[in-house]
Structure 1
Amino acid sequence: MISFLLFGLFLALLLTSVPIAISLGLAATGALLYSGKVSSSYIAQGLVTSIDSFPLMAVPFFILAGDLMGHGGLSKRLLNVGNVFFGRFTGGLAIIAVVTCMFFAAISGSGPATVAAVGTILLPAMVRDGYPKGFSIGLVASAGCMGIIIPPSIPMVIYATSSNVSISAMFLAGVIPGFLIGLALILVAYYKSKKSHYRGADKKYSAKEIMATVNDAKWALLVPLIILGGIYGGIFTPTEAAAVGVIYGFVVGVFVYKELKFKDLYRIIAGSALTSASVMIIVGTATIFGRVLAIERIPVLIAEFIVQLTSSPMLILMLINVLLLFVGMFMETLAAIIILTPILLPVVMAVGVDPVHFGIVMIVNLAIGLVTPPVGVNLFVGARVGGSTLEAVSKGSIPFLIAMLIVLMLVSYMPSLSLFLPKLMGM
C-alpha cells in the first residue's frame, strides 16, 4: 500500500505539472507520514544531510565555471579553431558544431549549457549558409548530450555519490563513449550534408592563420587538460578541480580575453546560483524518495523479481536500457539517477556487471533522454535559442538519435569501452 501511495502520488503530481522536485518531496512525505515508521523530522534532516557532501560541492562549481567560460569568450574561440580545421569540408559547419560541443562538454559538464553556449553562436551561421533550421538545431541539441558524458559531468558526480564509486573512475570511463557519440554524430552530419549538398566554406587557411587561431584559443583548449590532468595527476580532487575551473574561467574571461565584464558578474553568478539551487533541491527530495524506497525494500524486491525472470546479463541490460530510455523521456536526469541507482545497481551487480560500466550505460541512456520528447530539455533549449518549434527540432534530431542509440548498444555490450581507461589508470 505504501509503495502504491508513493508512486501513485508521484505520478499524479507529475501529470498535474507540479515541478519534479516538489513532486518527489510531497510523494515521499505522504508515504512516510502514512507508514508512521519515522517521524516527520526525518524529512527535514534528510534534505540537509543528502546535500551535505564534499563531492557534491563540485556541482555548483562546475555550473559556475561553465557559465563564466561561456560568457568569457572561450566558446567563440573553440568555434574558430573548429572552423579553420573543418570548415572547408562538406558539411563543415555541422562538423564544427559537433567538435565544439565536445570541447565545451569538457568545460561545462551540462547538456543544456552546451546547447545554449554553442547554439547561440553557431545556429545563425548555419541557417545563413543554407542549413535547414530543424537539421541545425537538432544536430546541436543532440551534440549537447555529450555535455553529461564527456568529463567533467555533473550527472557522473551524482551517480558516483549515489553508488559509492570513484568520481575519477567515472570521468575516465566517459571519455571513449563520449568520443564515440561525437564520431557517430559527425558521420551522420557528413552523410546528410553530402546528400543535401551542404558545402563547406571556400576559404582555405594558411599555416600562419591556423597557428594564429589556435594560439588565440590556447587558453580555452587548455581547460580540459588542466581540469582532467589535475585530477588524474593527483594534484587535486574533482571538487577542487571544479573550484580551479571557476578561478580559471574568471581570470581568462576578465584579464586575458577581456570579454567578461565586472558588471555582468552579478547576473552570471545569480543565474548559476539559481541553477545550482534547483539541482540541489532535486538531489535532496530525490534522496528522500530513494530512502523511502529503501525502507520499503522496493529495490530488493525489484532486483529479486528481475533476477528470477532471467540471469542473463545481456537480457537484463536490454530490459534496463528500455526502462531508462522510457524514464529519460519524462524525468529529469539527476532525479532519475538518484532514484533508479539504488533500484537497478543491485540487479546488475548480481549478474556481474561492473558498477562503473553500469553508470556509463545509465548516463548515456539519460543523455539520449535529453533529445526525446516530451521532456527533452536540450530540444527546448535548442528551439528557444534557434527560434524554431519543438516539432521541427524533434524531427531534425531523429537521424542523430538513431546514431546515439547504436552507440548505446555498443557501450552496453562492450564493457571495455567504458572500463579500459579506468583499468589502465589502476582504478
Structure 2
Amino acid sequence: MVTFLLFGSFLFFLLLSVPIAVSLGLSAALTIFYSGVVKPSAIPQGLVTAIDSFPLMAVPFFILAGNLMGHGGLSKRLLDMANVFFGRYTGGLALIGIVTCMFFAAISGSGPATVAAIGGLLLPAMAKANYNKGYSIGMLASAGSLGIIIPPSIPMIIYAVSANVSIMQMFVAGIIPGLFIGVVLMIVAYLKAKKENYIGTTEKFSWHQKWQAIWDAKLALLAPIIILGGIYGGVFTPTEAAAIGVIYGFLVGFFVYKELNLVSLYKVLVDSALTSATIILIVGTATIFGRILAVERIPFEIADYIVQLSDNPVIILLLINLLLLFVGMFMETLAAIIILVPILLPVVLKVGVDPVHFGIIMIVNLAIGMISPPVGVNLFVGSRVGNARLEEVTIGVLPFLLAMIFALLVITYIPSLSLFLLKFVA
C-alpha cells in the first residue's frame, strides 16, 4: 500500500504537470502523513541533510563556470578552430558542431547549456548553407547530450554521491565512452550529409592559419586541461576544480576576451542561480522519496524479483537499459538518478557489474532521454534556439538517436570502454 501510494501520487502529480521537485516532495509528504512510515520530521531533515555535502557543492560551481565560458567567448573560438579543421569536408558544419560540443562538454558539464551555447552561433550558419533545419537541430541536440557524458558532468557527480563511488573515477570512466559516442555521431552526420549533398566550404586553410586558430582558442582549450588535469593529477578535488573553473571563466571572459560585461554577468548569475536552485530542490525532495523506499526495502525486493527472472547479466542489463530508456523519456535526469540508483544498483551488484561501469550505462541512457520525445529537454532547447517546430526537430534527431542507442549497447556489453582508464588512476 505504501509503495502504491508513493509511486501513484508521484505519477498523478506529474500528469498534472507539477514540477518534478514539487511532485517528489508532495508524494513523499502524502505517504508519510498517511502511512506514518517515517516521522514527519524526516521532511525538513531530508531537505537539509541531502544538500549538506561537499561533493555536491561542485554542481552550482560547474553550472556557473559553464555559463560564464559560454557567454564569455570561449564557445565562439572553439567553433572557429573546428571550422579550420573540419569545414571543408562533406557536412563540415555538422562535424564542426559535434566536435565543438565535445570540447564544450568538457567545460560546462550540462547538456542543455551545451546546446544553447553552441546552437546560437552554429545554427544561423547552417541555415545560410541550406542545411535542413530539423537535421541541424537534431544533430546539435544529440551532440549536446555529450555534456553529461564527457567529464566534468553534473549527473556523474549526483550518481557518485548516490552510489557512494568516487567522482574522479566516474569522470575518468566517462572519457572513452564520450569520445566513442562523439565519433559515432560524426559518422552518422557525414553519411547523412553525403546523402543530402551538404558540401563543405571550398576554402582551404594553410597550416599557418590552422596554428593561428589553435592559438586563438588556446584559453578555451586550456579550460578542460586545468579542470580535469587538476582533478586527475590530485591537485584539487572536483568541487575545488569547479570553483577554479568559475574564476577562470570570469577572468577570461571579462578581462581577456572582454565579451562579458556587467549586464551579461548579471544574466549569467541569475540563470545559474535558478538552475542551481532547481537542482538542489530536486536533490532534497528526491532524498526524502528515497528514504521511504529504503525503509520499505523496496529496492531490495525489486532486485530480488529481477534476479529471479534471470541471473544472466546480459539479460538483466538489457532489461535495465529498456527501463532507463523509458524513464529518460519522461523524467528529469537528476531526479531519475537519485530515485533509481538505490533501486537498480543492488540488482547489478548481484550479477557482478562494476558500479562505476553501471554509472556510465545509466548516464548514457539518460543522455539519450535528453533527445527522446516527449520530454527530451535538448530537443526543446534546440527548437527554441533554432526557432523550429518540435515535430520537425524530432524527425531530424531520429538517425542520431538510433546511433546513440547502438553506442549504448556497445558501452553496456564492453565494460573495458568505461573501465580501461581506471587502471591508470589511484
1:92 maps to 92
1:318-354 Cα offsets, whole Å, 9 max, x none, are 0000000000000000000000000000000000000
Residue 134 of structure 1: CA displacement?
0.3
Residue 117 of structure 1: CA displacement?
0.3
Any conservation in 1 of the 2:105–2:114 contact (CA below 8 Å)?
Answer: yes
Give the fraction of aligned pairs with identical amino acids, expressed as a percent: 69
2:189 maps to 189
Please tell me the residue identity of whatever aligns with 1:189: A
- Which one is further off, 417-426 or 341-350? 417-426
- The reply on whether 1:34 has 2:34 as its aligned counterpart is yes
1:339 maps to 339
Please tell me the residue identity of whatever aligns with 1:190: Y
- The reply on whether 1:286 has 2:293 as its aligned counterpart is no
2:167 maps to 167
Q: How does 1:31-70 map to 2 (within 5 A)?
A: 31-70=31-70
Q: In structure 2, list runs of 5 or more residues that go unmatched.
A: none
- Which one is further off, 30-39 or 318-327? 30-39
- Which one is further off, 227-236 or 199-208? 199-208
SS of 2:301's partner is helix
Please tell me the residue identity of whatever aligns with 2:247: I
Aligned counterparts of 1:86 and 1:211: Cα–Cα separation in 2: 14
2:425 maps to 425
Aligned counterparts of 2:240 and 2:45: Cα–Cα separation in 1: 27
1:237 maps to 237
1:16 maps to 16
1:190-235 Cα offsets, whole Å, 9 max, x none, are 0011111100011111222212111111000111111110001110
1:272 maps to 272
Query: How large is the RMSD of aligned CA atoms in angstroms?
Result: 0.7
Aligned counterparts of 2:3 and 2:239: Cα–Cα separation in 1: 36
1:384 maps to 384
2:326 maps to 326
SS of 1:90's partner is coil
Please tell me the residue identity of whatever aligns with 1:177: P
1:156 maps to 156
1:74-112 Cα offsets, whole Å, 9 max, x none, are 000000000000001111001000000000000000000
4+ long deviations beyond 3 Å: none
Aligned counterparts of 1:276 and 1:413: Cα–Cα separation in 2: 34
1:410 maps to 410
- How many residue pairs align between the two structures? 426
SS of 2:22's partner is helix
- Which one is further off, 256-265 or 145-154? 256-265
Aligned counterparts of 2:303 and 2:208: Cα–Cα separation in 1: 60
SS of 1:329's partner is helix
2:297 maps to 297
Residue 421 of structure 1: CA displacement?
0.7
Aligned counterparts of 2:249 and 2:159: Cα–Cα separation in 1: 26
Aligned counterparts of 2:214 and 2:7: Cα–Cα separation in 1: 53
- The reply on whether 1:77 has 2:77 as its aligned counterpart is yes
Aligned counterparts of 1:82 and 1:268: Cα–Cα separation in 2: 25
TM-score, normalised on structure 1?
0.99
Aligned counterparts of 2:76 and 2:106: Cα–Cα separation in 1: 15
2:4 maps to 4
Aligned counterparts of 1:135 and 1:24: Cα–Cα separation in 2: 35
Aligned counterparts of 1:287 and 1:373: Cα–Cα separation in 2: 27
- The reply on whether 1:364 has 2:378 as its aligned counterpart is no
TM-score, normalised on structure 2?
0.99
SS of 1:374's partner is coil
SS of 2:258's partner is coil
Aligned counterparts of 2:15 and 2:137: Cα–Cα separation in 1: 28
Please tell me the residue identity of whatever aligns with 1:226: I
Aligned counterparts of 2:321 and 2:31: Cα–Cα separation in 1: 28
Aligned counterparts of 1:8 and 1:38: Cα–Cα separation in 2: 18
Residue 423 of structure 1: CA displacement?
2.1
Any conservation in 1 of the 2:37–2:292 contact (CA below 8 Å)?
Answer: no
Residue 42 of structure 1: CA displacement?
1.1
2:130 maps to 130
1:92-143 Cα offsets, whole Å, 9 max, x none, are 0010000000000000000000000000000010011010000000000000
SS of 1:259's partner is coil
SS of 1:363's partner is helix
Residue 39 of structure 1: CA displacement?
2.2
Any conservation in 1 of the 2:38–2:292 contact (CA below 8 Å)?
Answer: no
Residue 264 of structure 1: CA displacement?
2.1
Aligned counterparts of 2:205 and 2:261: Cα–Cα separation in 1: 32
SS of 2:151's partner is coil
SS of 2:227's partner is helix
SS of 2:251's partner is helix
1:210 maps to 210
Please tell me the residue identity of whatever aligns with 1:81: M
Aligned counterparts of 1:401 and 1:112: Cα–Cα separation in 2: 16
Aligned counterparts of 1:421 and 1:226: Cα–Cα separation in 2: 19
Aligned counterparts of 2:207 and 2:180: Cα–Cα separation in 1: 29
